[in-house]
Structure 1
Amino acid sequence: MTDAWGQSGELAGTVLCSQGHMNSPNYRFCSHCGSPIGLVPFPADDDGPDDGPDDDVPDEPAQKTRKIALAVGIIAAVVVLVAGGTTAYLLAKTPTEDPAVGTDTGFGSGAPSAAPAAMVCNEPPILEAESLEKTVDGLTVSALFYPGCPGSDVEAGKALRVTVADGQRDIAAGEFDFSGSPMEMKPNAPARRTLVFPDGMYWRTPDMVGGQPQLVAHRDERRTATPDAGKSVVDRVVAAAVAEPEHGSIVGVAKAVLGELRDADLPLLRSAAANRWVPQVSSKRAGLVVGGRTLTDADVLRDHLDFRERFSGARLVYSGQWSTFNDDDWWVTIVGPAWFYPDDANRWCDQQDFGVDDCFAKFVSDLFGPERTTVYRK
């Protein structure tokens, strides 16, 4: 027993309980009285040194608290590291490394950004009439062209429709080709062009217009043309084709103008030509076939306006208002002055070099019948 016991006779490495009983050092409770041996209670949140063989089993709430604290600490450390690295990177960059930051203007340096595409104005130009006159080429309008959109614009269409009107009364309409000579317009520097409407493209003459006419342009196509320095700039543009008027149809406008001329000329004819002989130079109506072509009211009006422009004394007679005509639906053009004898009227026709059948003496009256009221030339 001496190699297992010490001099005190106690087993080596033994411990005493609180009642003085001897026990093995690995006992937690006394084998004699059950008292605890060597156990010291620890607080749940105490992280002190290991005090016993059972300290390797941590208290559950304390363990959770320590884990949460550890996680928060790790996250905070990561945030600090990321923020610090980003700040260091931005401070280290030069301005030229970022194309969005400019060194001088603040709008970027390095590779220039693409310039915005120029806006194509699809609105027609705004026109203003400066003058309206009748020339040998037709009805002539001097017009100012303003861009229809903010900023500058270019007119280069092949068929720009331009209408001229006096209020609701149409004057002219035609299609103009600007493709061969594009026209640049600026808000503060409008372009000026002389527009010519040849015969058949106008229905009223300047003497029938009360004030400044209104011009309206219409675009029927999208345009992308720009001024070409190689193309000549012309100041005078002649309409290539007749166009629909602003407020009606071509035939409708022609009928209206024929009525206006008839009503305007009637009082003068009653006072100056009634019961006298006058040269008759034309007699036409819609539906009449001339040279294989069927006439319209627009053709009748054009024919009369031609004589009205050649002779200041030309007047329009509607046969239905006089008793010396066989039919009541003819538009007759006569030329003054009136004469007492038919030979004087025919002599005037000779002097103007009219063909025999194109000019002759006609007696105008609302008192007599048509018999013996026409004297042809020989």
Structure 2
Amino acid sequence: MSTPTPSDGPTPSRRYGVAVGVGALMVVAAIICFFLPFGGTFGALIILLAVVYAFGASTGMDPFANARTTLEHLRVAASTATGVVPQESWQPAPPPPATPPPPATPPPPATPPPPVAAALPPAPPQAPPPMAPPPPPPPNHWSNGAAPGVPQQRSGPQQRSGRKLLWSLVAIAVVAVVAVATVAVVLVTRNTDNDDTGTVALPADILQSAYPDVPTRTFAVMSDEVGTSGTFRRPNYAIGGEESTGYLKSDKYAITGIAGGLIAINPATGEVAWIQDSAGVSGCSDVFDDQTIACATENGLVLLSAETGDVTRQLPGSEYTRMQKFGDKYAYARTDYGSAAVSLGTLDDPEAYWHREMPIAGGTRNELVVSDDIILWRDLSATGGWAMAYNEAGDELNPDPRNFGALMGNGWFVASGAPGGAVYNSAGEQLYDGIMHAAQPEMYAPAPGIEIAFTGGEVVDPSTGRELWNFADGELPPTDGLHAEVRGVVGSVVLANTFPRGGLLAVDARTGATMWKIPDGVSSYALTTDGQRVMGMDEYGTVTAYDVATGSVAWTVDAGDLGYYPKLFVVGPHLVAVGSDAMVGFTGSGEPAVLYDSEAASTETAAAQSDGKVTKCGSAPRVVPENFRATDGALVVRLKFTATCDGGDIVSNSGYRVTIRDQASLIASAQFNLGGSSVLALPRDGGSVARDFVFPAGTFWRLPASLSGGGGSNTSVSGGNQTVECTSEGSDTVSTGQEVSPSSSGGGGQLSGVPAAGGGVTADPARNALDALRAQANADRPLVQRDLAERWLAQISAKQVRTPPMVAVDIDDTTMVAWTPEEILRQHLALRSRYPEVRLVYSNEWSTFDLRDWWITVAQPNVADAVSANAWCDSAALAPNQCFAKLISNTRGSEGTTVYRR
């Protein structure tokens, strides 16, 4: 074996290779720096070090006299830039002790080095003999080869320390990369926690994905196609009087009830994840800890796996019927005929921490609710209700359990039945009183800095009870009142119902100023949101999204026939609709959802409109109907205008006529004043502007239910194969060449039309009306055949087209009318607006009518017999000769299918 010889340092090729490698690492570190807010200077420093090192290393010189000092400088720079104290592993080696400790064992004798003459260089080191062990290190050896305090003897010329230099520089480069990476991580973390946009994450039960356009249907599952018996049912803990469908909150699966159990469906694919029908489940909690569901059975409470549906544990204490997760503990509750009890415990012992019981009648509408630090066990019955409220220590918070109780949005307890109302925190301290509170709405996703609570008409600061604002007088009908229901808080917008007409009112949460209102036609079922739009669904499965900022319809989509009691809910980024017969899922854009905030929106709008002014285009804009909506006796059409010139366009005419039709017949035609603040300035480069055009009675002939895709819904339907014709019949209000800032894409108020001048598309009103009647009856026929045939209905009107027209009283049983096709259509549309359950049938198409060519308006009171149908007529206060019971069928004659009122 050859004897190794001492090296004079790296060879040129190795030196160049290491120089390139270390230099590359330093350049990467510099590039990372340049992406940081303050990294320009730091990156330039690293590049300078890389250049110096590359030059020095390639020539064999030592450009860094003290690698440790340089490393320390880098450490201090990284610490100063980030404000983060480096880990101990980044510190330079501590200084050695002044006196080395004595060795544990005596070292072997060593030959002292020969004396060295001052003028002579030291002798070169001796290589060990072949196959011999290396000589032992000197006593108390240190990493630099010399004992502290002893002058180090050089072993040769300076260039021979190249290997040590290379390793030092490699360490420097690596530390530089690590330091810069640490800066990047800290800054990313800081920027995430302090988002410059002011946006915040939405609550888990709000859509986590944006839905700006019509969503994509991802699945449809019928209840009779998934191996279950019967229909989908309410899976939640039973509350007397609640509707018979529902869902469990989960961020992974769409979970609903079936006979004796639960079914979970993957919302991304529609595949059945699991079915639990063997445990006899009667009601369950929402998913907690991302993996567990607590359910009531005949044998007591059990835990299910949210991933598989399997029973994972039988809980002790068979008398308890409710359980909710409460921090790291569990709240239990029960009632019987003479008492109500609530306890806090573990999975092994429901009463491990405490148990409270009171002699109170159990009631039929029991609910266990928890916040972060309060447990509320209550009965919601209108008469005989009660509330038991406790903190984690078991201290009673409700001075009189017979007071109604609710939890506010910040978790405080409200004893609403106490004189004047009283608010308590979890310590049992009464904070303030004198007002009557309402529970915070389920859809509660406020913008940063907004914290509000609701009373029977006021909005208050929950920390002080001080009134912040109230609804303006006259905004809500006298019989409606905010106490009817606050639907939700979305960003900086409060949404409230306007019962009994099914309207929706939006106000600014900070000021109470009215933003917009929809008089009627909004679903009374639960709403949900993606932060910018609020979605609701009617009884026919039509999902409508309203822009939170303007109230305009963003889109509609048909979920189809879901059966009874349809509900709309979310599973992470997925929108899901469920009813007794079906479950349907939708997917949005995939972009993250962001809460609407009026303050931020105002700033963005002003910035967007500060430039990009447009002028009139030489060609007409492209106009597309996005949505049709019937509300308050009018037809509202959402029209989107897009300029056909790259430089944008301006639509400005005092008599702008809009006519809409489809292949069947004319839909609507009216004139609109697009002058002043109603001018439409269409953005450059294909940008669009959408507005709601309101066609009042007499200017429309068709309702959404008669349009393609209407699905029987009276309320709304998306635009489809309709055509829009626009003509300017008034005077222009903006001259050619005049510049105007672009209109906001979806803002602005509604534009109300007036009847157009005679001639043109409305020259034959009788033909237009007959076509509309035919289209409406055709649209209603499938629904009547499926849901109303062989059932008792209320017949409200029957009219025949004659020449000359028949003369008879109107629905008020007083006004005499000559019943032309236009009048027959007018009456039917008015009845349809007044009673959403109204449908139109043509007598020739049903065997229970003896007379031909009659247009008959019927209402669907959803009753079992003729007596009940006539009772509906009584409740509607319609005259006996105007409303009576009628059975529609094609399997029998007319005999016995009409029962008049007396």
Per the normalisation by structure 2, the TM-score is 0.25
Change (3 A) 1:326 1:221: same
Return 5+ residue gaps in structure 1 as ranges: 1-118
Q: Deviations over 1:150-185 (max 9, x none)?
A: 756544423211122345654322111224545152
Name the residue aligned to 1:240. 754
Name the residue aligned to 1:279. 794
Q: How far did 1:224 drift?
A: 5.8
Mapped partners of 2:760, 2:869: distance in 1: 39
Mapped partners of 1:304, 1:349: distance in 2: 17
Change (3 A) 1:341 1:221: closer
Answer whether contact 1:165 1:171 (CA < 8 A) is retained: yes
More strand by share: 2
Name the residue aligned to 1:183. 679
Asked if 1:306 corresponds to 2:804, the answer is: no
Q: Which moved more, 1:246-255 or 1:171-180?
A: 246-255
Asked if 1:289 corresponds to 2:807, the answer is: yes
Please tell me the residue identity of whatever aligns with 1:260: A
Name the residue aligned to 1:209. 708
Answer whether contact 1:124 1:218 (CA < 8 A) is retained: no
Mapped partners of 2:829, 2:839: distance in 1: 10
Change (3 A) 1:362 1:242: farther
Q: Which moved more, 1:129-138 or 1:280-289?
A: 129-138
Q: Deviations over 1:66-106 (max 9, x none)?
A: xxxxxxxxxxxxxxxxxxxxxxxxxxxxxxxxxxxxxxxxx
Asked if 1:126 corresponds to 2:635, the answer is: no
Local SS of the residue matching 1:140: strand
Q: How far did 1:125 drift?
A: 4.1
Answer whether contact 1:171 1:203 (CA < 8 A) is retained: yes
Q: How far did 1:362 drift?
A: 2.3
Answer whether contact 2:654 2:732 (CA < 8 A) is retained: no
Please tell me the residue identity of whatever aligns with 1:350: D
After superposition, residues 253-264 of structure 1 pair within 5 angstroms as 253-264=768-779
Change (3 A) 1:276 1:128: closer
Q: Deviations over 1:268-321 (max 9, x none)?
A: 545655555321111123323354543332332332233334444422222233
Mapped partners of 1:342, 1:245: distance in 2: 47
**How many corresponding residue pairs?**
257
Name the residue aligned to 1:375. 899
Mapped partners of 2:782, 2:665: distance in 1: 22
Q: How far did 1:372 drift?
A: 6.0
Mapped partners of 2:775, 2:733: distance in 1: 43
Change (3 A) 1:271 1:151: closer
Q: How far did 1:217 drift?
A: 1.1
Q: How far did 1:146 drift?
A: 4.1
Mapped partners of 1:339, 1:184: distance in 2: 49
Answer whether contact 2:633 2:830 (CA < 8 A) is retained: no
Name the residue aligned to 2:373. none
Answer whether contact 2:654 2:674 (CA < 8 A) is retained: yes
Answer whether contact 2:616 2:650 (CA < 8 A) is retained: no
Please tell me the residue identity of whatever aligns with 1:252: R
Return 5+ residue gaps in structure 2 as ranges: 1-614, 710-718, 741-746, 809-814
Answer whether contact 2:794 2:885 (CA < 8 A) is retained: yes
Taking only aligned residues, the RMSD between alpha carbons, in angstroms, comes to 3.9
Mapped partners of 1:285, 1:165: distance in 2: 25
Answer whether contact 2:800 2:854 (CA < 8 A) is retained: yes
Q: How far did 1:237 drift?
A: 0.8
Answer whether contact 2:652 2:732 (CA < 8 A) is retained: yes
Name the residue aligned to 1:356. 880
Mapped partners of 1:241, 1:127: distance in 2: 20
Q: How far did 1:186 drift?
A: 3.9
Name the residue aligned to 1:318. 842
Mapped partners of 1:363, 1:298: distance in 2: 27
More helix by share: 1
Please tell me the residue identity of whatever aligns with 2:826: R
Q: How far did 1:349 drift?
A: 1.2
Answer whether contact 2:665 2:771 (CA < 8 A) is retained: no
Mapped partners of 1:247, 1:148: distance in 2: 28
Q: Deviations over 1:134-161 (max 9, x none)?
A: 2225222233334567756544423211
Q: How far did 1:353 drift?
A: 2.8
Answer whether contact 1:278 1:363 (CA < 8 A) is retained: yes
Name the residue aligned to 1:84. none
Local SS of the residue matching 2:831: helix
Mapped partners of 1:235, 1:270: distance in 2: 40
Please tell me the residue identity of whatever aligns with 2:629: E
Higher relative contact order (CA 8 A, sep 6+): 1
Please tell me the residue identity of whatever aligns with 2:806: L
After superposition, residues 209-228 of structure 1 pair within 5 angstroms as 209-210=708-709, 211-212=719-720, 213-221=722-730, 223=732, 225-226=734-735
Q: How far did 1:331 drift?
A: 0.6
Local SS of the residue matching 2:772: helix
Local SS of the residue matching 1:241: coil
Per the normalisation by structure 1, the TM-score is 0.55
Identity level (%): 32
Answer whether contact 1:272 1:338 (CA < 8 A) is retained: no
Change (3 A) 1:121 1:356: same
